[in-house]
Amino acid sequence: MEGQDIIIRVDAMKKELQELGCEIREDWLGGKDCTLCEIRGKRIVFIDLESSPQELSASLARLVAELKATLIGQAASTDV
């Protein structure tokens, strides 16, 4: 059952990233970690289809946390 839980968490994090304004792209990237890029003002998350669900879950959790911290920092700097 744990495998299904990880898949559910991964799907939830993908949805959260989309709600935070990211486009999700999935492709075979040679075993690379998920990464967030900004291209022409658009946030894009690249997900490697070669990653295991456990690796994907950890990588997406890191990206969600980093993006939230960045957005909070941007909001704080505009409030000053």
Tens digits of per-residue pLDDT, 27-64?
Answer: 999 888 899 999 999 999 999 999 999 999 999 999 99
Q: What is the pLDDT of residues 1-21, one digit of tens each?
A: 467 899 999 999 999 999 999
pTM for this structure? Answer: 0.84
Buried residues in 26-62 as b, exposed as e (16+ CB within 10 A)? eeebeeebbebeeeeeebebbbbeebeeeebbebbee
Supply φ then ψ for residue 6, to 5 degrees. Answer: -65, -45
First to last CA, the chain: 48
Give the whole-angstrom CA distance, residue 17 versus residue 72.
15
Give the whole-angstrom CA distance, residue 59 versus residue 66.
11
